[in-house]
C-alpha cells in the first residue's frame, strides 16, 4: 500500500497493465489442455469384485467334477453359456468330436464370448473349464475325478467376473474370452494305453487350428490357470517368456504398481505344457500363462494339484483379487 501511493499516473497505468497480463497468463496456463500422458492417467479402472469371482468358483464346484463327457460337464457348460449371455449377446459354443488317449469318443465344447466384435484392436483371455477325471497325485481314491476348484475353476471365475465388468463399462479395445474344454484329459504317466502324442489341451489345439473368426489375430493372449490358491506366486514361465515377453513384462509391472508384487515375482521358471503352448505355436498369437509356481512341491504346481483337496478350501479371495485387478488395469489402459 505504501509503494503504490508513491506511483505517478503513468507508472500506475503500467503497473495495472502488468497485473492484468499476469492474471490472464495464469488463467490461460490453468486452462491448458492436459497432455495425452496426463489424460491416460485419468482413466478410471473399475474395481474387481473378488466376492463375485469366489461365487463363480463355487457355482462351478457345485456341479461336481466337470471332466470331459461327465454329467457335471454337461450341466456346467449350460451354466457358463447362460452366464456369459447375460453380459454379451456374442456367445458361441464351438463343438468338435475328439478321441482321448483311452480310445473314448467325446464332443468337446469350447465356450467363447466376444465384446465389441467389430473392433480390430483386440486381445484374447483364456482358461480351461474342464477338470481332471482322475486324482493322479492323491494318496487315495486315485481313479476318482476331482472337483478342480483351483485347477480349472479359478481361471474361469476370474474371466466371468471380468465379463461382468465389461458389460458395465466397455473397454476401449475388443475382448474375446475363450473357455477351453478337454485341457485336463491328458494321458497319465502310468497309463496302460499306447502313448498318445499331444493328449493334453485338446480344446485349445482344436481352437488354435479352427479359430471362431476367420483370419483371427488379436494383439496378444493371456491364459489363466490355477490362479486362486492362498499365497500363490506367479513367475515368468519359459514358453510365455519366449513367445510374448513384452506382454509378460507389461502384466507383471502393472501387478507391482498395484501392490501385488508378492504374487507376481520377477523370476524365471521352467516351460509348462499348457493351453498357451498350442495357441502360440499353432495360432501364432503371442500368449502368456499366469499359472501358480510352487518351488516347494515336486511338480512345482499347487500343493493340491490333481488331488481331492482341490476344493473350495483351496481358494483365496485375495489371490483372485490380485490376478483380477491386475488384468483390469492392463485391459482398461490399452
- What are the φ/ψ torsions at residue 13 (nearest 5 degrees)? -65, -45
Locate cell 461382468: which residue?
164
Q: 3-state DSSP call for residue 178?
A: strand
**Which residues lie below 8 Å from residue 32, measured CB to CB, with a gap of 6+?**
none
SS3 content of the chain, % helix, strand, coil (to 5): 40, 15, 45
pLDDT at position 20 over 80: no
> In this predicted structure, what is the pLDDT of residue 114?
98
Task: Find the mean pLDDT for residues 213-235.
Answer: 97
Residue 119 burial (C-beta neighbours within 10 Å; 0-12, 13-18, 19+): middle
The three cell numbers of residue 312 are 473350495
pLDDT at position 10 over 60: no
> In this predicted structure, what is the pLDDT of residue 248?
98
pLDDT tens-digit series, residues 95-143? 999 999 999 999 999 999 999 999 999 999 999 999 999 999 999 999 9
**How large is the greatest C-alpha to C-alpha distance in the chain, in angstroms?**
108
Q: pTM for the complete prediction?
A: 0.88
pLDDT at position 61 over 80: yes
**Which residues lie below 8 Å from residue 183, measured CB to CB, with a gap of 6+?**
128, 130, 152, 200, 201, 202, 203, 204, 274, 275
pLDDT at position 151 over 80: yes
Amino acid at each position: 500500500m505504501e509503494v503504490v501511493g508513491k506511483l505517478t499516473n503513468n507508472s500506475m497505468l503500467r503497473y495495472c497493465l502488468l497485473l492484468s497480463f499476469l492474471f490472464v497468463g495464469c488463467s490461460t496456463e490453468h486452462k491448458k489442455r492436459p497432455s495425452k500422458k496426463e489424460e491416460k492417467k485419468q482413466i478410471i479402472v473399475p474395481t474387481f469384485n473378488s466376492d463375485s469371482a469366489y461365487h463363480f468358483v463355487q457355482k462351478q464346484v457345485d456341479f461336481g467334477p466337470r471332466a470331459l463327457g461327465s454329467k457335471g460337464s454337461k450341466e456346467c457348460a449350460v451354466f457358463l453359456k447362460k452366464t456369459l449371455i447375460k453380459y454379451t449377446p456374442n456367445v458361441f459354443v464351438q463343438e468338435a468330436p475328439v478321441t482321448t488317449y483311452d480310445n473314448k469318443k467325446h464332443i468337446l465344447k469350447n465356450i467363447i464370448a466376444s465384446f465389441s466384435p467389430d473392433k480390430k484392436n483386440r486381445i484374447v483371455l483364456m482358461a480351461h473349464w474342464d477338470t481332471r477325471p482322475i486324482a493322479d497325485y492323491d494318496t487315495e481314491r486315485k481313479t476318482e475325478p476331482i472337483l478342480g476348484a483351483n485347477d480349472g475353476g479359478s481361471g474361469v471365475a476370474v474371466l466371468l467376473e471380468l465379463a461382468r465388468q465389461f458389460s458395465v463399462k466397455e473397454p476401449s479395445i475388443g475382448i474375446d474370452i475363450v473357455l477351453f474344454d478337454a485341457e485336463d484329459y491328458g494321458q497319465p504317466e502310468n497309463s496302460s494305453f499306447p502313448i498318445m502324442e499331444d493328449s493334453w489341451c485338446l480344446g485349445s489345439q482344436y481352437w488354435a487350428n479352427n479359430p471362431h473368426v476367420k483370419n483371427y489375430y488379436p494383439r496378444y493372449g493371456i491364459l489363466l490357470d490355477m490362479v486362486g490358491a492362498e499365497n500363490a506366486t506367479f513367475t515368468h514361465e519359459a514358453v510365455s517368456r519366449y513367445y510374448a515377453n513384452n506382454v509378460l513384462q507389461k502384466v507383471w509391472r502393472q501387478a507391482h504398481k498395484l501392490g501385488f508384487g508378492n504374487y507376481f515375482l520377477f523370476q524365471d521358471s521352467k516351460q509348462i505344457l499348457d493351453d498357451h503352448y498350442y495357441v502360440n505355436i499353432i495360432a501364432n498369437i503371442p500368449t502368456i500363462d499366469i499359472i501358480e509356481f510352487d518351488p516347494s512341491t515336486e511338480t512345482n504346481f499347487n500343493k493340491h494339484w490333481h488331488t481331492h483337496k482341490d476344493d473350495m478350501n483351496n481358494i483365496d479371495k485375495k489371490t483372485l483379487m490380485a490376478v483380477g485387478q491386475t488384468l483390469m488395469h492392463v485391459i482398461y489402459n490399452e
